[in-house]
Structure 1
Amino acid sequence: MTLPLFPLNTVLFPGCRLDLQIFEARYVDMIGRCMKTDSGFGVVAIVEGDEVGSAPGEFARTGCEARIRDWQQRPNGMLGIRVEGGRRFRVSSAQVQPDQLTVAEVEWLDDQPEKPLTVEHDDLATLLGALSLHPMVASLEMGGEVKGQQDLACQLAYLLPFGLAQKQVLLEMDDPTVRLARIQVLLEQLQGDLTA
């Protein structure tokens, strides 16, 4: 499967929403093609380099498909799009085209079937409910009812203020139960840092 890549300084998770302003020609063209063919593109985290200009020097090999859910012309003349995370993938090879757009051969990663939440997830579900009241989260229409462990883990991993490398590790985890346990550990570390 060939997928155009959009390297960013963020990690997108399945089911999560991201607003982007598109102004570089390579990405305006890419978005146009995606909208015409009702296809997605891949969001990968930048490891080395910048979002703007030439293709980044290095990006994470595991990313998330982005599906365009809405678009509008911004007052500044740029194209604004809202995407939603789809399937996770692993990049097997990539090449930079003459227009500096990176195109990759990817393998889709299998996500486990959704598992129901258990009592031990009550605190994390309550935390997501509290996050949903934040204006930024509300504007993305996230943080409402969750379908299960996978949904809860993805939304928390995306919304909580973890570092880029920590979020990338969470994205690469296949088991939602393990991902939720890791989120709990990261939260405890965050609380420890705040009280120190």
Structure 2
Amino acid sequence: MASAENESLDHVPLFPLNAAVLPGGRIPLQLFEPRYLDMLAGCLREQRGFVVVLLREGSDVGSQAVFYDIGTYVRIVDFQQLDNGLLGITAEGLWKVAVNRSWRAPDGLNLGDAERLPEEPEDVLPSGHSELAAVLRALLRHPVINKLDLSVDFSSAREVGWRLTELLPLDSQEKQRLLEIQDPLQRLDRLSSLLDAMD
């Protein structure tokens, strides 16, 4: 795999989903549409990744998906034939990106030109947000999530916030708002408010 610094973000495949992934996160995907199977072959051949963008409206299997323009550049870390005959892949988030323009290829695949967003600050998880780490630990024990084999630094404000954004049952608009926040402490404050509202 080419280094993250050198990977081209021009004409990068875009994968609209009803789920979010952030840097360091992993997401399992099942591929069956020809456009996505071709995308996978191209990514493996060219040793490049693709961008996961959250759906604004439409379906991730439909041709008329409308998606947000801030997403996450991911790389393929595993792929295998599933019991149902579909191809399963696991994608891991590398960094957040802004899609500056997008278009649809003749085969229906969404493509775009994107730019890498600045790294978020490395803040320590404040003691006042220790309950968020506890919630995350509980979520990671779920068998489906446990299979993703996520490595989490529970002392990192951004890692705890990123993983909770992915794993909590929030609507797409809220997940996108959390994804777009560049201040990890601000994201934790928002997550704390959302969890209070769930009680």
TM-score (norm 2): 0.90
CA contact (8 A) 1:55 1:96 kept: no
* Distance in 2, Cα, partners of 1:66 & 1:48: 22
Choose which of 13, 16, 22 in structure 2 pairs with 1:7.
16
Partner of 2:183: 175
* Distance in 2, Cα, partners of 1:189 & 1:162: 12
Please identify, of 11-20 and 168-177, the stretch whose mean Cα deviation from structure 2 is larger: 11-20
Residues 1:144 and 1:14: Cα distance change in structure 2 (over 3 Å):
closer
Q: Deviations over 1:90-129 (max 9, x none)?
A: 1111111100111101121112232122211211111111
Between Structure 1 and Structure 2, how many residues are aligned?
Answer: 190
**Can you give the 5+ residue segments of structure 1 that lack an aligned partner in the other structure?**
192-196
Point out 4+ residue stretches in structure 1 off by more than 2 angstroms.
142-147
TM-score (norm 1): 0.91
Residues 1:145 and 1:112: Cα distance change in structure 2 (over 3 Å):
closer
RMSD: 1.4
Task: Give the letter aligned to residue 13 of structure 1.
Answer: L
Compute the displacement of 1:147 (Å): 5.4
Partner of 1:164: 172
Identity in percent? 39
Which runs of structure 2 are paired with 1:125-164 in the superposition (5 Å)?
A: 125-142=133-150, 144-146=152-154, 148-164=156-172
Please identify, of 135-144 and 8-17, the stretch whose mean Cα deviation from structure 2 is larger: 135-144
Task: Give the letter aligned to residue 23 of structure 1.
Answer: F
Residues 1:21 and 1:74: Cα distance change in structure 2 (over 3 Å):
same
Q: Deviations over 1:38-58 (max 9, x none)?
A: 2110111111211114241x1
CA contact (8 A) 1:18 1:83 kept: yes
